Structure 1
Amino acid sequence: MGTATEAAGKGAGTAPGTAARVALVGVHGFGTHHLRNLERLQAAGAVELVAVADPQPPAPGAVPPSAAIHPGLDELLQAAGDLDLVIVATPIQTHAPLALAALAADAELYLEKPPVASLADFNRLCAAAEDSGRGVQIGFQSLGSHALRAIEELLAAGTIGTLEGISATGRWVRDRAYYKRSRWAGKRSINGVDVVDGVATNPLAHAVATALRIAGARTTADIASVETELYRANDIESDDTSVIRIRTTPGLPITCALTICASESVEPCVTLQGSAGTAVFHYTEDRLSIETAAGRSEKTFGRDDLTENLLAHRATGVPLTSSLLDSGAFMLVLEAVRTAPLPSPIDPAHVRWEGDGDSAHAVVTGIEAALERAGREHATFSELGLPWAVSAPATFDIPAS
């Protein structure tokens, strides 16, 4: 790791050499990743996991014996005393209230993606963060990749010529069991509470966030327009196969073509389309390939850990890698998806099912070629004339800032 790691290890607590007092809310799902990471940081003396909260108790031995276990954040905050950092890795619809409670407790906050489920909640959270003066890191882990700096440098050097567009392509497989794992999976809302668990806002949200970051689109002011075309092959409320077309304020097109109804899972990527070449960033692998008339090159980069970066920010003031305010552009995309018409069902004649029972997964016929064309041509599925694409793109009215 780089400077952020070194700073966190040396003095991220309340005083030099003091471990930061950390609480984790949500120990299942992606919370297990945070448990492993906190175990590593605790062994290095950077943190002390003081307490965890989850209505479903952790598995035996999953948390250190010294960490108290609580059913919820309220109980944890009442019992734990002063905390330096609260990590929230819970269902999307709980992010806003838990994040606000953590900031009210005067702790730094690590909030898993997506930050919250509506632009209104995002604005409330931004106001609370500003009032508290605390750092809020959003869990877009790919933004810690050192490849992003290399991309900035190759663009500045004109290695691929003038940047003409960016596409994000994601094709994963998710089976029926994926949508049965929790009551909020695949939901747009539950009892009037926004969830927005769509392909672009949760499983492949990193593709969208990474493309936006590469484009220099961080805040809400950096986005000029968002169009959505949402579909579903599964029997769910939310979209599982979609195109999101974004234009930045300077006019750069970004097209995100995404599905979790592919025949096989492939590493997602962000492609930079230049006048003299292309660069492809496989963000889950931190791998960057560049192709120009001079040839092809490829390199794999390191990555800074976002928890360590937040600890370093607290200790020394280094900039946050994935700050709350810098997720504003992503939140406009989420709001466009949230307020879009219901996803159109894909005609079953164009869907095949592979596997049995809960292991069965939907495959949209020809989806791989469709995603590639959508990204290359900056076109939606209906504009490509696909036989199952019955919707027209919906334009989102960006609120005045």
Structure 2
Amino acid sequence: MKEISVVLAGIGGYGNKYVEHILREGKEKGVRIAGAVDPFPQNSRFYEELRSLNVPMYSSLEEFYLHHTADLAIVSSPIHYHCEQTCLAVKNGSHVLCEKPAAATVKEVKRMIECRDRYKKIVAIGYQWSYNPAVLRLKEDILSGKFGRPVLFKTIVLWPRDTAYYRRNSWAGRMKVNGRWVLDSVAGNATAHFLHNMLFLLGERMESSAYPDSIVAELYRANNIESFDTCALKMMVKDTPVLFFATHAVKERMGPVFEYRFEKARVLCNYSEYPESEESLLVVYNDGKKEVYGPTDHGSMRKLWVAVEVARGKEEFICTLESAMAHTIAINGAHISMREIQNFPDEMKRVEGNPPLIWVEGLKEAMEEAYRKEKIFSELGLPWARRGEEVKLENFEGLEGEITC
């Protein structure tokens, strides 16, 4: 088995997971850490262990490549560095596993595609559901026509996040940092997997996602942040309505709950009336027959070991930049649809706990009603709701701004 050398760009935050799995399983899987890149490496839970193993540490990826090479670069740095570091890695001969989202803007993703093709390297994006065996088997059956034509896809995610969540780094909840787009939000980051998964399953080939043709967005915030912590998105994707509801500004955690409706069946996850759907993909056919496809396993690190095998020269299924760009198009389109994010009325906001959680009275019920009735908030006639403009996304170039990669 060929040993694979790995450079880790970002070892704090989510990057801790990559460090942990490689330290625990890397030896048996033939993986060696060639270096770690982080301006604040001491913030990693594994800093002392990495030091004891004499892993070289650098504050920039450029500095690492001045002294070393790596078969694979794992980019789990802040969103506004994804494009720059991915391009730098492929230029220096590394394949790349880049965390989701691929980048903040459509133009950045296209720049990453150009670099990948020019230097003939492979770039995988870490939407872990696109590596999930149950999801992939489901997509094969969707493409075979087993369930008939897609009719409507919808997802709801209620994931409370307190104020410490937005203080954990310098870019949480930000639109830009030092002039670079970040677009960190409930839909752009924390629940991005579930938005991307709908677009991925609507793709016309196994490796592709469907790009939305149009979007209407409603974007709101309860927290004191630049971006949004609550959204309702209404898209048309290949003649299929796609609805996405997500928030951090509630007390109760729920989801992801979703229904992918087809002519002959429904694909369900986390529906209380179907215990088999708990953290699992369940197909319920129109005649009442049920089929369990398997667990969703949101914490899976299968993407890591797939990327290692790709670096080893094996052909493995990955989430490509082109597939990941479907999510970036949706998020860029949402920000154009509602350029001015709406603040929830003060009289609706509540604060409790330590650290404080800011939540919105009645929001959980409004989101559940919107999901059930398949309408966005403004279509329910809620007094605080404001509808964004419809944005056509054909040949969409996304948000404007300087490309720094």
Q: Which residue of 2 aligns with 1:55?
A: 39
Q: Which residue of 1 aligns with 2:333?
A: 336
- Show structure 1 runs of 5+ residues with no match: 1-16
TM-aligned CA deviation for residue 103 of structure 1:
1.3
Answer whether contact 1:25 1:89 (CA < 8 A) is retained: yes
TM-aligned CA deviation for residue 347 of structure 1:
0.7
> Which one of 132, 135, 138 corresponds to residue 145 of structure 1?
132
Q: Which residue of 2 aligns with 1:288?
A: 281
How far, CA to CA, are the matches of 1:371 and 1:22 in structure 2?
43
Q: What is the identity, as a one-letter code, of the residue corresponding to 1:87?
A: I
Answer whether contact 1:143 1:322 (CA < 8 A) is retained: yes
Note the 1:244-283 alignment, pairs <5 A: 244-248=233-237, 250-281=238-269
Q: What is the identity, as a one-letter code, of the residue corresponding to 1:395?
A: E
Note the 1:42-81 alignment, pairs <5 A: 42-58=26-42, 59=45, 60-63=47-50, 65-80=53-68
1:395 aligns with 2:390: yes
Question: Which deviates the most, 62-71 or 300-309?
Answer: 300-309
Secondary structure at the residue paired with 1:206? Answer: helix
Answer whether contact 1:147 1:286 (CA < 8 A) is retained: no
Shift in CA distance, 101/316, structure 1 to aligned 2, threshold 3 Å: closer
Q: What is the identity, as a one-letter code, of the residue corresponding to 2:122?
A: G
Q: Which residue of 2 aligns with 1:235?
A: 224
Q: Which residue of 1 aligns with 2:402?
A: none
Answer whether contact 1:166 1:215 (CA < 8 A) is retained: no
1:177-220 per-position Cα deviation (integer Å, ceiling 9, x unaligned) = 11111121111112321110111101111111111112227768
Answer whether contact 1:234 1:362 (CA < 8 A) is retained: yes
Question: Which deviates the most, 327-336 or 359-368?
Answer: 359-368
How far, CA to CA, are the matches of 2:342 and 2:211 in structure 1?
29
Answer whether contact 1:137 1:320 (CA < 8 A) is retained: no
Secondary structure at the residue paired with 2:339? Answer: coil
Please report the RMSD computed on the Cα atoms of aligned residues, expressed in angstroms.
Answer: 2.6
Answer whether contact 1:219 1:329 (CA < 8 A) is retained: no
Q: Which residue of 2 aligns with 1:370?
A: 366
How far, CA to CA, are the matches of 1:108 and 1:157 in structure 2?
32
How far, CA to CA, are the matches of 2:200 and 2:76 in structure 1?
22
Answer whether contact 1:99 1:125 (CA < 8 A) is retained: yes
1:68-105 per-position Cα deviation (integer Å, ceiling 9, x unaligned) = 1112211111122x210000111111112111111111
Normalising by structure 2, we get a TM-score of 0.86
> Which one of 274, 286, 294 corresponds to residue 300 of structure 1?
294
How far, CA to CA, are the matches of 2:139 and 2:261 in structure 1?
14
Note the 1:110-189 alignment, pairs <5 A: 110-152=97-139, 155=142, 162-189=149-176
Residue identity (%): 25
Q: What is the identity, as a one-letter code, of the residue corresponding to 2:23?
A: E
1:345 aligns with 2:339: no
How far, CA to CA, are the matches of 1:263 and 1:291 in structure 2?
31
Answer whether contact 1:238 1:342 (CA < 8 A) is retained: no
Q: What is the identity, as a one-letter code, of the residue corresponding to 1:67?
A: V
TM-aligned CA deviation for residue 312 of structure 1:
2.2
TM-aligned CA deviation for residue 276 of structure 1:
5.0
Answer whether contact 1:146 1:304 (CA < 8 A) is retained: no
Question: Which deviates the most, 102-111 or 314-323?
Answer: 314-323
TM-aligned CA deviation for residue 346 of structure 1:
0.7
TM-aligned CA deviation for residue 352 of structure 1:
2.0
How far, CA to CA, are the matches of 2:5 and 2:152 in structure 1?
44
TM-aligned CA deviation for residue 314 of structure 1:
3.2
Aligned residues: 380
TM-aligned CA deviation for residue 315 of structure 1:
3.1
1:325 aligns with 2:312: no
How far, CA to CA, are the matches of 1:382 and 1:338 in structure 2?
17
